[in-house]
Amino acid sequence: MPVAARVKPGFYKDSVALMRVAQALAARAGINRATLVMGTPANKAALEQAGLLEQALAAAQPGDLMIVVEGIDPPAIDEALQEAERLLVATDAPAAAAAGEETLRSIAMALDAGTPATLAQISVPGPYGAAEALKALKRGLHVFLFSDNVSLEQEIALKKLAAGRRLLVMGPDCGTAILGGVPLGFANAVRRGTIGLVGASGTGIQQVSVLVHQAGEGVSSAIGTGSRDVQAEVGGATTREALALLAADRDTHVIVIVSKPPAKPVAESVFADAARAGKPVVALFLGAGGLKSKGGVTVVRTLEEAAAAAVALARGGTYTPAASMLDGTATLPAELAMQAPAQRYVRGLYSGGTFCTEAQVVLRAAGVIAWSNAPIDKTRRIPERAPSAAHCVVDMGADEFTVGRPHPMIDHGARAERLLAEARDPETALVMLDVVLGYGAHPDPAGALAPAIREARATALRGGRHLILVAFVCGTDEDPQRASAQVRTLREAGVNVVSSSTAAARLAAGVVAARSVSVNP
């Protein structure tokens, strides 16, 4: 198909805004793919790998916007490019200007105008993100740094400065936080309460906060750190500062840490700080082995356990992690009886990378070793965009799936295509899906997935098979999408809806056991 590209010099929008424009373009008749990204070397490399790096983009700089559209013919592409320009102009009009107020164009202007701010939310091109964060820190502001493509050296320097001033640098590439009851980035609407969260995982924070809310408790604060914070070079700087702030916060009674495995010296320092917090601390380092509860720190293994432990401790009780992550019961007996003998494997199609990791952890505890594009066992990596192999869980938010289309929390097209491919595979027994709600997510994710779910079931049926679908909704009824409405849509489409990401993986493990499948193919 023909491809056309344009560059808008010095024009920046954050990734969420660009993904929404790309989603609108891709929905147009005659358009196959649309992508809007900044002209960073990483984005150029990704476009080149996808065969979309047109000559017009060669000179694009990190502060320039690249627009790429693939369609059936030049007229359709030209109309899409014109629509892109219209949408970008529409989203670029400041609300203050519409109200006849002066537009504040810098942190200094806002503070000098008397804005009673304690935090700066920064979403500018990566090369400028660190500079703006530095300005905010020097003016005594905490920083929520949504920008990506900030160098590791700049992150270290920013967090060193922040530590000396008892300030937080959440990020770079921080997608979720809840501060003072206000959700930032991809966060959910949850009640306020006494449980504070610290996370190097956006969807991990979302799932734990949602489960806490569903259990009747609430969140005092949720502090994202950026995924690199637990690397040895950064030293857990924001994690440790967040721990200290929550330890001193009179509204926080229990603290939860959610992260993938930290570097060993970071784990040691974080555990030491947690033991000195003077409050119960729940620690979840997904996939990390050898960590044990000690000194007021309760170590758990799943997102569900993290929430359950926090709720128990917040209510003045105690929590003992379960001896097993498996329920040990036969699941879905009627659906299992409808399956063909060849249906042996479980597949996970996740929009949240943390959910992909947790599924592998839960399956492994049951002896089920899964392949993945983001494996915890590096010997089980599948090639980029390759079909599923045996038991397989896929992070659909990885770069390989988001070049040329928005993230799957906003656009479910890529997951729908993959779901249909799984349904055509005669060995697929079960498919797991996450449905993530919140302020940055798709306005009706279950509704967007439902047609593909129905077609997947029909495809399997035509092949003489029965496909089991399992999903969980990460959200609340206070979210714009309403969790109960999403659950209803999924169930009407024939999906088994369970309570959490952990429960979905447990159920998948139970199906493997019930099918008497060799768990180490």
The terminus-to-terminus CA distance of the chain in angstroms comes to 39
142, two tokens? 């905490």
Residue closest to 445 by CA, chosen among 478, 404, 415:
415
What does the CA dihedral 485, 489, 492, 496 come to, rounded to 10 degrees? -90
DSSP 382: P
Q: For residues 65 and 49, what is the distance between their CA atoms, to the nearest angstrom?
A: 19
Residue 295, Ramachandran bin (φ over 0: left; ψ between -120 and 50: alpha; else beta): left
411, two tokens? 């656009």
pLDDT tens per residue across all 521 residues of the chain: 899 999 999 888 877 788 889 888 988 999 988 889 888 887 888 788 778 888 999 899 888 999 999 999 999 999 999 999 999 987 655 544 445 566 767 888 888 888 888 999 998 877 788 999 999 999 999 999 988 778 999 999 999 999 999 999 999 989 899 998 999 988 999 999 999 999 998 999 999 999 999 999 999 999 999 999 999 999 999 999 999 999 999 999 999 999 988 899 999 999 999 999 999 999 999 988 777 888 899 999 999 999 999 999 999 998 887 666 555 445 688 899 999 999 999 999 999 899 999 999 999 999 999 999 999 999 999 998 899 989 999 999 887 777 656 778 888 888 999 999 999 999 999 999 999 999 888 899 999 999 999 999 999 999 999 999 999 999 999 999 999 999 999 999 999 999 999 999 999 999 998 886 433 44
Judge residue 180's burial from the number of C-beta atoms within 10 Å of its C-beta, 0-12 exposed, 13-18 middle, 19 or more buried.
exposed
Are β-strands 496-498 and 468-474 bridged in parallel, bridged antiparallel, or unpaired?
parallel
pTM of the model: 0.86
Q: Between vectors from CA 306 to CA 305 and to CA 312, what angle results, nearest 5°?
A: 85
CA 12, chain centre distance (Å): 22
Q: Are 39 and 66 in contact (CB under 8 A)?
A: yes
Q: Phi, psi at residue 376, to the nearest 5°?
A: -80, -25
CA dist 78 → 8, 19, 81, 85, 500 (Å): 16, 19, 5, 11, 44
Q: Are 50 and 86 in contact (CB under 8 A)?
A: no
Judge residue 11's burial from the number of C-beta atoms within 10 Å of its C-beta, 0-12 exposed, 13-18 middle, 19 or more buried.
middle
